[in-house]
Amino acid sequence: MSQTTTRVMRLLSWLCLVVVALLALLLVLLRWYPYPSAFPSLPRITHTASGAAGDPLNLIIVGSQPQITQSFLQAGWLIPDPITPQTSAKIAAASLAHRSYPTAPVSNLYVFGRVQDLAFEKPTNDVGNRGHIRLWQTSMLIGGQPAWIGQASYDHGIELSGTSHQPTHHIAPTVDLERNAVGADLAKTGLVVAEGYGAFTPPIFAAYNGGGDYYASDGDVRIITYTQTPLQLAPSDGLVGLVLELKRAVFLFYDAILSTPLLALAVTLLGLSIVVGGVWPALRWLVRIRGERRVRPKRS
pLDDT digits (tens, 9 = 90+) for 24-82: 888 888 888 888 888 889 999 999 988 989 999 999 999 999 999 999 999 999 999 99
Q: Are 225 and 194 in contact (CB under 8 A)?
A: yes
Bridge pairing between strands 220-225 and 59-62? parallel
238-259 and 3-32 helices cross at what angle (nearest 10)? Answer: 110
Question: How far is 297 from 174, CA to CA, in rounded Å?
Answer: 60
Residues 6+ apart with CB under 8 A from 156: 128, 129, 169, 170, 171, 172
Number of structural domains found in the chain: 2
Q: What is the dihedral of CA 236, 237, 240, 243, to 10 degrees?
A: 100
300: in domain? no
- In terms of domains, do 204 and 161 share one? yes
- In terms of domains, do 72 and 133 share one? yes
For residue range 82-94, list pLDDT tens digits in order: 999 999 889 888 8
Q: What is the mean pLDDT of residues 151-166?
A: 70
- In terms of domains, do 168 and 97 share one? yes
Give the closest residue to 178 by CA, choosing from 124, 247, 243, 113. Answer: 124
Cα-to-chain-centroid distance, residue 264: 16
- In terms of domains, do 227 and 282 share one? no
181: in domain? yes
132: in domain? yes
244: in domain? no
Give the closest residue to 116 by CA, choosing from 105, 124, 108. Answer: 108
Strand (E) or helix (H) holding 255:
helix 238-259
Whether residue 113 is predicted with pLDDT greater than 80 in this model: the reply is yes
Domain that holds residue 273: 3-31+263-295
257: in domain? no
252: in domain? no
253: in domain? no
Q: What is the mean pLDDT of residues 254-281?
A: 78
- In terms of domains, do 25 and 141 share one? no
Indicate the pLDDT class of residue 159, thresholds 50, 70 and 90. Answer: low
Question: How far is 279 from 275, CA to CA, in rounded Å?
Answer: 6
Q: Report the percent of the chain where pLDDT is more than 70.
A: 82
- In terms of domains, do 82 and 191 share one? yes
- CB atoms < 10 A from the CB of 98, how many? 11
Quote the strand ranges of the chain, DSSP E: 45-47, 53-56, 59-62, 110-111, 114-115, 118-123, 129-142, 145-160, 167-171, 194-199, 204-208, 214-217, 220-225
**CA–CA distances in Å: residue 36 to residues 98, 142, 205, 223, 234:** 44, 19, 19, 15, 6
- In terms of domains, do 9 and 128 share one? no
What pLDDT is stored for residue 5 in this prediction? 65
- In terms of domains, do 112 and 47 share one? yes
Residue ending a domain, choose from 235, 253, 277: 235
Q: Are 225 and 61 in contact (CB under 8 A)?
A: yes
- In terms of domains, do 193 and 228 share one? yes
- In terms of domains, do 23 and 113 share one? no
What pLDDT is stored for residue 65 in this prediction? 96
199: in domain? yes
Highest mean pLDDT among 9-23, 59-73, 191-205: 59-73
Which of 83-92, 160-169, 200-209 has the lowest average pLDDT?
160-169
- In terms of domains, do 19 and 127 share one? no
Give the closest residue to 157 by CA, choosing from 176, 172, 175. Answer: 172
Q: Are 142 and 230 in contact (CB under 8 A)?
A: no
- In terms of domains, do 20 and 43 share one? no
pTM: 0.84
Q: Are 39 and 220 in contact (CB under 8 A)?
A: no
